Structure 1
Amino acid sequence: MKPSAVLSALVAFLVAGSASAAVTNWGGALNGANEVPANASTFKGNAVCTYDDVVRQLTCTITHDVPAPTSGHFHTAAKGVVGNVIYTFPTLVSPIVASTSLSPAQDTLLKANGLYVNIHTAANPGGEIRAQLEPIVVTDAGVTDGSTTTDATTSSSSSSSSSSSSSSSSSSSSGSGNTSTSSSTSGGTSGKTDDGGCNTSSDSSPWGFGALAVGVAVVLGALRKRRAA
């Protein structure tokens, strides 16, 4: 293989390895009207989540005012449909922090708005309040999912589960002197948003640009020695 071909192959490998993970935001408002069948519950809540689609890790902060919950879960099903439990919350005390890895099939369901969160009670064992997980926009002012807005405290609680995401937003805000905002993509089902706010973040892999520079330097040094000989 020619030296130039070796160099090109190495550069291509290192650049490909420097691809970053996309962290997106999901969530929704929990209420009795979202349950199947709907109920007249006066209790409410909010789910604010981050999702790393490289390792397929879903992490949610769920706040609620249910006084005596009996269980809480992530389920697979579209809006208006009852689905299977894929994860049981480790605690029911608000705020609940729940994190689980999704299978490839569950990843596909999430991106099609096919996962939901709900909390059960003795009065409503099938589900007291429910929220379908959909793409949301996170700003310094709060969290908006199209049907509800929560305060910045809830937003910060969720964002802490993805430090790279919140750090990216904070740096952008302090540098420009303006509050960063972001919007959902036109499709609305992938969960991906632009990089103007804290909806995306980059987690560089070990094969970053530093490794690229070192690799190129090694190859160039070897080529010089070969020519000198």
Structure 2
Amino acid sequence: MTAPFRFPRFFVTSPSPCPYLPDRQERKVFTELTGPHAGELNDALGRIGFRRSQSVAYRPSCGSCTACVSVRVVAGEFQLNATQRKLRRRYSDLVVTACRPWATDEQFQLLRSYLSARHPGGGMTMMDESDYADMVEQTPVNSHIIEYREPSVDGRPGALVGACITDQHADGLSMIYSFFRTDDPLRPGLGTYIILDHILRARATGLPYVYLGYWVKGSARMAYKTRYRPIEALGPAGWTRLKEMETVSARPVEAVVLA
């Protein structure tokens, strides 16, 4: 039986300044996710290091630079350490809901606050409500936005304190983008909690992995991704436990032919 999703057309972007490492240029290879097999294509590309943005799957293709490395947590073997257990207890009162991918003004206002605090001057700070709606709703795959809310008050939903756009793959959850409240001293570590919740959510449903995107060696902004063990990185030999790759240069598997 013919499987059309096996033969997508790939394109390469023009070089642009790298957002993670100074004095470097980035370039991406990408393809469109369309048609009835978009979910299967997204799954297959996710296993070789691609990420999704709306209806596009992409990965770095930067020539001489191989700093960006795809990483995924092995959910079935993950064990909370003492600090993570304490954090889970601290947030045990939050109401967590997997919502259909539909953008709301409450989510957008939380995103604006998050970007202003964590990524001032970044490209996403220019997003308006329509851009955010496209980011959430333009998904050809099985996607949700996971909401994290304070406990309800008088039967009304509590305040939204965190959210994550999440895809479900055949072999795991892919965290596309998370954002959360950063200005509450009584609620520190929300970003960590959201990752932990996804790992435990995947494990409870029998999904083996949580895809965290790219770990960028040398970027302080991406160092947090190595705190969740066991974690695998994608290199020339496929997916390997990160501890075996921390001292070597890693390049994603070259498994596609550019059109």
- Taking structure 1 as the reference length, what is the TM-score of the superposition? 0.25
Who wins on radius of gyration, i.e. which is larger? 1
- Taking structure 2 as the reference length, what is the TM-score of the superposition? 0.23
